[in-house]
Structure 1
Amino acid sequence: MRRGYVVLLTTVMTAGILAGCGGGADVKKAEVKEDKTISTSGFPIVKEPITLKVFAGKSPSAPNDWNNVEVWKEYAKMSNINIDWQLVPTESLAEKRNLTLAGGDLPDAFHTSRFSAEDLLNYGGQGLFIPLNDLIKKYAPNFQKMMDQYPEIKKAITMTDGKIYSLPSFYDPSFMSVRTGSQLWLNKKYLDTMNMKEPTTTEEFYQYLKAIKTKDPNGNGKNDEIPYAASGYAALLDHLKGSWGLGNRGLAHSRVDVDPTTNKLRFIPMDGRYKELLEYMNKLYKEDLFVKDILTLPGPEFLAKGKEGNYGSFMYTNAKVGFNVQQNDYIGALAFTGPHGDRLFSRARPSVQDVGSFVITKNNKNPEASLRWVDYFYSEEGSKMFFLGFEGKSFVMKNGKAEYADEIKQNQENLKKYVTFMGGYYPAMLTEKTFTGGESDPDNIAATKKNEAYWPKDVWGPFKYTAEELPRFNALSADINNYVNEMTTKFIMGAAPFSEWDTYTATLKKMGIEEYLKIYTAAADRYNKP
């Protein structure tokens, strides 16, 4: 239910970390060798065509068959590298990805497959992913240039064994809207019809949702308005954390931040204010202010319902991208002031995103060509093609700026003919110059500016763990996070009364939360070391 959760690894995989960290024969696959059939610059990348089998996660908003999308057909012509895309829906991605890794029949590479830093060290240590350090220097000039310019990239993707096993998503640090990502949107027409001002506090947001439920703001005489909609409750929970002073190191650490009273790490789901937040969410749930079956509503169904225009509020990129309806019917919500006076945008994201966006497996017979293939998307030209498509077809230049062609402006679904970036988690460089997606919409820019003053002062990137720490940390994380997921859902739904809160926190202590935080603190100290 939450991005970045650590998946419990099998005993065999965990045992393989220590055995595999030395690299052995698998590391030799990554050694840079002179191969005159692979160019180090320009196109084609290889003289004779090759085909790579690539496993990829497909979000609900992305095209169904990437083999027929223009960006990949054209890039195959340019590079002489064909891709056999093996797409897996994001709903079942973690399960199928882990089964693939455990089964041994590996693809040549994993793309948009949501590997965490823990996964990278784990599978890399086993030799399933090849280290890229030396390969990057010769076969990824664009990415190397980017690392030289932004030292935080190397810091984020270098594991504690000193190896780089993956390439990430990278957002231009100054492009704040894209670092915000999905936003909370409010129905402007409903606000106007009900003569309500934009909510600025959690109480006002509750009153707004309640009014939508009871006042028939669309005026059709039916009770068909949906106060809040999303696929799951996690995004709203993350948005609201800051209203209780939680999440002060950003979204990459959604369950751990720094306690301002002790300056030590705290486990957010044990904090008394988290209990208050869950009580607030429970109130929204009990009063039927969430879309029906929010906990099980599939992403495609959430998007389909949005086309009806009856959402009073929702979490997504924006209405135009999600539902193909007028975005100017909605305004971006503020970070709300909470009951104790806290106001923090807790969904802030670092510039280095999704560290495991692209990995090359040990079965890949063409790692140099594979790395050169993906490196193009860390250049300005490649980034433009990846996000915009092709000038004169999917986008046009006006006054020195790119904008989507009319067919896409009129129907966002037409963009799927050209590109596949929808849903995120891609290995590419994203800048305001090369991206004209939802986050660059003027309404998204305006919504982000409203909250820039409430961004945390320090937004942390992902942490890394040593091979010695990782087995224990993974075991603790899996048990603890599964239990927190279960109990958070029960508290919100009312299946567990809040009188059980002390039992819940006592259970977390028995499960080893102190040891978990000790390991987490060691990783934080390494991360924050100058």
Structure 2
Amino acid sequence: MKKQPKNSINRTITVILLVTTLLAGLTACKGGKGVNSVESDPGHFHKEGLPIVDKPMTLKVLTVRWGSMGDNYIQNQWLKDLEKNTNVKIEWQVMSANDWSERKSIMLASGSLPDIILGSETFGDSDIVNNLSLFRPLDDYIERYMPNLKAAMQEEPELKKISTFPDGKIYSLPARLPLRPKSSRQPVINKTWLDKLGLKVPDTTDDLYNVLKAFKERDPNGNGRLDEIPVIEVSNDLISPFGITDLNNNFMVVQDGNAVYYPVSEAYKEGLKWEHQLFADGLLDKELFTQDETMRSAKFLNPDAPIVGFSYQWTPDAVFGKWSDQYVTIPPIAGPDGKRYTIGNPYGMNLERNELLITTSCKYPEIAARLADQFYTNEASIQNFWGAIGTVIKKNDNGSYTLMDPPVGTSADAWYWDQSLRDFGPKYVSPVFEKSIFLNPKTGDGLKLQLDKLGSDYTTPPFPDVMYTAEEFQMLPTLTTDIDSYVNTMRAQFIITGKIDEGWADYVKQLRGMGLDKLVKIRTDAYSRYMNVE
């Protein structure tokens, strides 16, 4: 064998050392824990207590806000104190949802992301599942550096279920919003009209039909014209008396512990017949299938006299403007089986996921994890849902908390969104702690809880916010685009023509031919995975 020159051997050794060093560096940067790079950092990272680091550092945090909400929430005193107490400065990147879709695509395609993604409006399930290499699995970080979230998951196991992706790992952090109602929209009716016509609050679908007919025929707004619109829109709520409680608008419900696709069920069929009866007798808005949201809103706010009789809303003041005092929220309407059903969740409408992600671009994920964990204390959570203590929340001497009234001319909801992260971002308020929070029962979230008492007992477990695999996400749009469109088109056709019994077999056959069985299998497989998370 030919002997290599000494300088050649030296070059070989040098190359080997360089490659070894490079691989070690990549391992430190890309490793699941990344502990060595931080625990040996000159800034001196603390695994417990505050500050998180001795030497000030900066993390870039991206979030998306609806419309033109802006970034006033950054002035939240708790967020300011967080930076001071942790020694971690947050460099906020605040985007508007109005133009986020295009920006998001560019950002994901480039792979260039900030350290932290905050808020479920930023990246959804499919964005994450189809780009898993951009986001860090967080299970180890939760175990090692996030005692607040770990304790919350032990107290509320659904937090882990909702956060677990199909591969069994957690890539995004959850939230449990405080003091949320169990029911969603509830029936709202013009009580002034009822009183003028000498009618009682309707209790059953038959009662409601008779009331709506009187609204149509007896000029309850007293303007001399029969311009009243008894019911202005067709929604999932309108067929809820038939046991259809579709919370997530995906045509799925849970019955006897099983996931059910209800547009082919007998209950849905009977609901369509009820809607056709309302349409045939002129009790549904004649522009029901042609108006947009702007037209509908104008009718709610009709300047000369109220013209809408019955609707489903969170609170009456949400849509009726100056006529709000005429409307009241009533208990759920009993269906043909004598039972009442409310769209919602008996465990509370308060669990969210994708509220915080740590990207693989983040050099110090341990620091990001520790920063995120600060959001999971009770006091931190209420201040990031309503506003800071001393600004929006008053902390009382007895340890309770009272929400202050909003400034004159501002609604409670608008004030909360201006002063806090509100629905977005990680947070957890324990059920025990909630008992120490006092809300004004006449406005905002307090009013929602008061109205919720009418319907909360009638909520049933909904089809959960399940997670899909990348393959399932690829198949779903192909299936749902055609199937959902056909279901909605046929609902309108059945309501208008009433030929439900005659056309039902062909309707179901068409759905089967469009791949309904595949769609249902995807939904039920995802449901099974969700229910089996431990």
Q: Tell me the TM-score normalized by structure 2.
A: 0.73
Q: How many residues align?
A: 482
How far apart are 1:353 and its partner, in Å?
Answer: 2.3
* Identity, % of aligned positions: 25
Map 1:100-115 to 2 at 5 A: 100-102=107-109, 104-107=111-114, 108-113=116-121
Letter of the structure 2 residue corresponding to residue 268 of structure 1 = Y
For 1:152, the equivalent position in structure 2 comes to: 158
Contact 2:232–2:296 (8 Å) recurs in 1: no
Contact 2:182–2:452 (8 Å) recurs in 1: no
Which whole-Å CA distance do the structure 1 matches of 2:425 and 2:320 have between them?
22
How far apart are 1:299 and its partner, in Å?
Answer: 8.2
Aligned partner of 1:356 among 354, 357, 378: 354
Contact 1:246–1:257 (8 Å) recurs in 2: yes
Map 1:111-510 to 2 at 5 A: 111-113=119-121, 120-124=128-132, 127-171=133-177, 177-221=180-224, 227-228=230-231, 236-237=235-236, 239-247=237-245, 251=247, 254-258=250-254, 265-281=259-275, 287=282, 289-290=284-285, 297-298=292-293, 302=297, 310=306, 311-320=308-317, 329-348=326-345, 350-351=347-348, 353-396=351-394, 401-408=400-407, 411-412=410-411, 415=415, 418-421=418-421, 424=423, 426-430=425-429, 432=434, 433=436, 436=439, 441=445, 443-456=447-460, 458-459=461-462, 461-465=464-468, 467=469, 470-471=470-471, 473-494=472-493, 501-510=504-513
1:273–1:321 distance in 2 versus 1, CA, 3 Å: closer
1:86 equivalent to 2:83? Answer no
Which whole-Å CA distance do the structure 1 matches of 2:333 and 2:426 have between them?
33
Q: Deviations over 1:200-254 (max 9, x none)?
A: 2234334444544554444455677654567xx5xx31x344422334xx73585
Letter of the structure 1 residue corresponding to residue 380 of structure 2 = G
Which whole-Å CA distance do the structure 2 matches of 1:453 and 1:411 have between them?
32
Which whole-Å CA distance do the structure 1 matches of 2:217 and 2:107 have between them?
49
Which whole-Å CA distance do the structure 2 matches of 1:188 and 1:331 have between them?
6
Contact 1:321–1:412 (8 Å) recurs in 2: no
Which whole-Å CA distance do the structure 1 matches of 2:302 and 2:44 have between them?
50
Contact 1:331–1:443 (8 Å) recurs in 2: no
Q: Deviations over 1:3-59 (max 9, x none)?
A: xxxxxxxxxxxxxxxxxxxxx99963654442545555566655435252413241x
Contact 2:186–2:329 (8 Å) recurs in 1: yes
Matched residue of 1:55: which SS?
Answer: strand
Contact 1:184–1:333 (8 Å) recurs in 2: yes
Which whole-Å CA distance do the structure 2 matches of 1:206 and 1:393 have between them?
48
Contact 2:118–2:424 (8 Å) recurs in 1: no
Contact 2:231–2:283 (8 Å) recurs in 1: no
Which whole-Å CA distance do the structure 2 matches of 1:64 and 1:93 have between them?
14
Q: Deviations over 1:231-279 (max 9, x none)?
A: xx5xx31x344422334xx73585233566xx85431122233233345
For 2:10, the equivalent position in structure 1 comes to: none
Q: Tell me the TM-score normalized by structure 1.
A: 0.74
Letter of the structure 1 residue corresponding to residue 341 of structure 2 = L
How far apart are 1:384 and its partner, in Å?
Answer: 1.9
Which whole-Å CA distance do the structure 1 matches of 2:514 and 2:284 have between them?
34
1:195–1:57 distance in 2 versus 1, CA, 3 Å: farther
Letter of the structure 1 residue corresponding to residue 456 of structure 2 = E
Gaps of 5+ in 2: 1-26
Q: CA RMSD in A?
A: 4.3
Matched residue of 2:271: which SS?
Answer: helix
Contact 1:228–1:291 (8 Å) recurs in 2: no
How far apart are 1:166 and its partner, in Å?
Answer: 0.9
How far apart are 1:121 and its partner, in Å?
Answer: 3.7
How far apart are 1:383 and its partner, in Å?
Answer: 1.5
How far apart are 1:502 and its partner, in Å?
Answer: 3.7
Which whole-Å CA distance do the structure 2 matches of 1:191 and 1:405 have between them?
35
Letter of the structure 2 residue corresponding to residue 112 of structure 1 = S
Contact 1:278–1:492 (8 Å) recurs in 2: yes
How far apart are 1:133 and its partner, in Å?
Answer: 1.0
How far apart are 1:427 and its partner, in Å?
Answer: 3.1
1:366–1:213 distance in 2 versus 1, CA, 3 Å: farther
Matched residue of 2:354: which SS?
Answer: strand
Which whole-Å CA distance do the structure 2 matches of 1:73 and 1:507 have between them?
57
Letter of the structure 1 residue corresponding to residue 174 of structure 2 = P
Matched residue of 1:65: which SS?
Answer: coil
For 1:3, the equivalent position in structure 2 comes to: none
1:64–1:346 distance in 2 versus 1, CA, 3 Å: closer
Letter of the structure 2 residue corresponding to residue 82 of structure 1 = I
Contact 1:324–1:411 (8 Å) recurs in 2: no
Contact 1:391–1:397 (8 Å) recurs in 2: yes
Contact 1:216–1:222 (8 Å) recurs in 2: yes
Contact 1:88–1:96 (8 Å) recurs in 2: no
Matched residue of 2:174: which SS?
Answer: strand
1:104–1:281 distance in 2 versus 1, CA, 3 Å: farther
Which whole-Å CA distance do the structure 2 matches of 1:327 and 1:70 have between them?
33
